[in-house]
Amino acid sequence: KTEIVPLDAQGLDRAATCLRLGGLVAFPTETVYGLGADATNDKAVAGIFEAKGRPQFNPLIVHFPDLASLERHVEMTPLAHKLASLFWPGPMTLVLKRKPRSKLSRLVSAGLDTVAVRLPAQGGARDLMRLTDRPIAAPSANASGRLSPTLAAHVLSSLDGRVDLILDGGACGVGLESTVLDATGDSPILLRPGGLAAEVVEQALGIGRMTRSLEDEKAPKSPGMLLSHYAPGLPVRLNAEAATSGEAYLSFGDRSGNANLSPGGDLVEAAANLFRMLHELDDPARFTGIAVAPIPESGLGLAINDRLKRAAQ
């Protein structure tokens, strides 16, 4: 009963109606496809966890069309204002203290006193939120622990029958989930590397290397950063100079392979291709595993390697 509709005026209208009635709609953002529900409706938000088959209630990102509606629900800090003016709308999520009078479902915070919020850049996503006139809670639109979707077809293959409507807006431009920053204090903490490179944030703020919660045992963790995330069905082997017999080779730069993340060695292009190419090579009828070429650890390479490490668990 899942329907795919094009992201046009009619599709947006149907999607907004479905969301307002408590339904689940998958929609494209510039990062990945999200599995959306009305963030003020407990039952609808619970439906997200059920559809994804999430083992526990990980907190969810809540999406807004503009800053004014976002500020009704979270306490903006001076740091958050600065980051918002620099990088929103865009592939950045800020974790902020929830306002006491916010009507957001408690389920989006999974027991924390904070909420992760984002203003997506993708025009279709913003149109949908404006039409719906509700904050939209949306994790990536994949079954729990599987690869994030960057095409409507990826959503259908992992959530067919579990989502009411899929808005097809083509491929996601960034192709990696948003960068999650804790902005409750004076300096940002990187909770999840993503589509906005950490170095870009540091340079824009004129600060040194920010704390990365993955490396610092004492820093707060993003509860969704489970190591088994983003897993294809086939085993994944990293930093491979070549494939062994039976393996698919996912290359980077001037090596040849079954797929190449970026023949020119461009990490932005590699990020946009990552999940789609892993989806394509994750085919047990053709391969026994996926070997991945070394990816440089700079810029978006940090997030790409993070996702690859999870895929290889």
- The residues binding ligand TXA (CB under 6 A) are 29, 31-32, 34, 58-61, 93, 95, 109, 112, 114-116, 118, 138-140, 177-178, 180, 191-192, 222-225
Which residues sit in the known binding site?
31, 54, 58, 63, 114, 118, 138, 140, 148, 178, 192, 230
For the bound state, the minimum distance from the C-beta of residue 215 to ligand TXA, rounded and expressed in Å, comes to 16
Query: Residues 50, 54, 55, 60: is their CA dihedral positive or negative?
Result: negative
Shortest reach from residue 8's CB to ligand TXA, in Å:
21
CB-nearest residue to ligand TXA? 224
Toward ligand TXA, which CB reaches closer, 113 or 186? 113
For residue 308, the minimal CB distance to Mg ion (Å) is 15
Sign of dihedral through CA atoms 16, 18, 23, 29?
negative
CB nearer to ligand TXA: pick between 32 and 45: 32
Q: Which partner, Mg ion, ligand TXA, none, binds residue 34 by CB below 5 to 8 Å per kind? A: ligand TXA
Closer CB to ligand TXA, residue 60 or residue 277? 60
Q: Residues forming the annotated binding site for L-threonine? A: 31, 63, 118, 178
Beta-ladder partners of 116: 61, 95
Beta carbon nearer to ligand TXA, 167 or 293: 167
Give the binding range for Mg ion (CB under 5 A) out of 89-97, 139-147, 269-277, 284-292: 139-147
Minimum distance of ligand TXA from residue 135's CB (angstroms): 13
Counting contacts by CB under 5 A, is residue 258 touching Mg ion? no
Minimum distance from residue 31 beta carbon to ligand TXA (Å): 3
140 contributes a contact to Mg ion by CB under 5 A:
yes
DSSP the chain: --EEEESSHHHHHHHHHHHHTT--EEEE-SSSEEEEEETT-HHHHHHHHHHHT-SS----EEE-SSHHHHTTTB---HHHHHHHHHH-SSSEEEEEEBPTT--S-GGGGTT-SEEEEE----HHHHHHHHHHTS-EE--BSS-TTSPPPSSHHHHHHHHTTT-SEEEE--S-SS-SPPEEEE-SSSS-EEEE--SS-HHHHHHHHT-SPPEETTT-TTS---TT--TTTT--SS-EE-S-SSPPTTEEEEE-TT---SEES-TT--HHHHHHHHHHHHHHH--TTT-SEEEE----SSTTHHHHHHHHHHHT-
Considering the complex, state which of residue 41 and residue 140 has its C-beta at the smaller distance from Mg ion: 140
Residue closer to Mg ion by CB (options 132, 140) is 140
31: contact with Mg ion by CB under 5 A:
no
The item of Mg ion, ligand TXA, none sharing an interface with residue 132, based on CB under 5 to 8 Å by kind, is none
> Which residues, including other chains, have CB under 8 Å from residue 16's CB and lie 6 or more apart?
128, 131, 132
Please say which residue, 140 or 258, places its beta carbon nearer to Mg ion: 140
> Nearest approach, Cβ of 177 to ligand TXA (angstroms)?
4
Minimal distance in Å, beta carbon 274 to Mg ion? 14
Q: What does the binding site for Mg ion look like in residue numbers (CB under 5 A)?
A: 140
